[in-house]
Amino acid sequence: MKLGDTNMPKFQTLEDFLEKEQREDETGRAVLQLCRQLRTALNKISTIVACGPLAGDLAAAQGSNPDGDVQKKLDIVAHDYIIETLKESPAAWVLSEEQDAPIELDRTRPLALAIDPLDGSSNIETNAPIGTIFSILPNPGPDATPEEVFLQPGSAQLAAGYCIYGPHTKLVLTIGNGTEMFTLDPMTKEFRHTRTETAIPATTTEFAVNASNARHWERAVRAYFDDCIAGDPGIPRGNYNMRWIASLVAECHRILVRGGVFLYPRDKREGYEHGRLRLLYEANPIAMLVEQADGYATTGEQRMLDVQPREFHQRIPLIFGSRKEIRRIEDYHAGRNMTAARSELFREHGLFNT
């Protein structure tokens, strides 16, 4: 089968999908319009990502962002594409990982956008999946301060999504009534609706965590990890497989497609005491997408979408995925069943116990 073959499956475009999502209120219509305009920026980012080194050294260091993380050339390019695209849009404000303070576009507009222009930039050189993550919030009013605009809990989000640039480009989007997937057609440059009613299985035997940090974890996370690695017959659902890509969008995409859990907990290292991922433009939009797909997202102790933000670039622990497994992980954090599933050997000599 060739691209453009008349026998290829027919999928509706993102534009067709948004047209069918009729909204009577001004804010609802603005959300749909903002999604249309984000599509333009995501298409541009996808094109330059696909060029790889043909577009220059996209992984070249260009300084650091407000939190001290190294900025790559592609981080800056993606940020610039997004800001340029949104100058004439329903967005009053934009909060980007690449800027210290929110950017005011027109405070009379009805929406605000929090965005990570390029997630997983450490993977640029390796040709592994990277992405863009975004959260759409209501603008409380033209007199609202930036703090009042962005320091809203995740439950206030009107829409959220990410675009993953991998073997093919996919846009994963929720506007509050389910999580939908759109694939970028490289011939027409249209996003086409290729997966509907995404649902994460409630149970799983697959988890993703960076095990090299195990010696720094809190007891609850280490206990859960030991139980999974032990593979004891007493553990619910038996043996587990472990995955780790080091790209949040790639980890989330795998879980949305086939289930699993992802853990990026806080730990004892300097700078990781409160978690590492950003609440407003990483954890909250991912949590909304996951919950709209029948999954669950938590800090370990609290539902992610209920967290009250304190800072624009606030960091937080993030655990999400198959609902029943995430509830089980919350039990570990609450001190319930911490050792019930482990053998005596692992209670005393867990794989990473000290």
Residue 282 is classified by DSSP as I
Position 27 in a domain = yes
121 with 269, same domain?
no
212 with 167, same domain?
no
In contact, 93 and 149? CB cutoff 8 Å: yes
Number of domains, the chain: 2
The pair of structure tokens assigned to 341 is: 């599933």
Domain membership of residue 299 as a residue range = 206-348
20 with 156, same domain?
yes
C-alpha 87/C-alpha 113 separation (Å) is 12
Position 6 in a domain = no
The domain spanning residue 302 has which CATH number? 3.40.190.80
Residue 14 has pLDDT above 50, yes or no: yes
Position 96 in a domain = yes
Say if residue 172 is exposed, middle or buried (CB neighbours under 10 Å; 0-12, 13-18, 19+).
buried
C-alpha 172/C-alpha 181 separation (Å) is 5
pLDDT digits (tens, 9 = 90+) for 19-57: 999 888 999 999 999 999 999 999 999 999 999 999 999
Task: Using alpha carbons, list the distances in angstroms from residue 191 to 289, 291, 297.
Answer: 18, 23, 27
Lowest pLDDT segment from 60-69, 74-83, 200-209: 60-69
Q: What is the pLDDT of residue 5?
A: 58
Residue 217 is classified by DSSP as B
> Given CA atoms 63, 64, 65, 66 in this order, what sign does their dihedral have?
negative
When pLDDT is averaged across residues 300-310 and rounded to a whole number, the result is 98
C-alpha 157/C-alpha 137 separation (Å) is 5
pTM: predicted TM-score of the whole model, two decimal places: 0.92
Position 354 in a domain = no
Lowest pLDDT segment from 53-67, 105-119, 196-210, 280-294: 53-67
> Given CA atoms 205, 241, 250, 150 in this order, what sign does their dihedral have?
positive
pLDDT digits (tens, 9 = 90+) for 182-229: 999 999 999 999 999 899 999 999 999 999 999 999 999 999 999 898
177 with 120, same domain?
yes
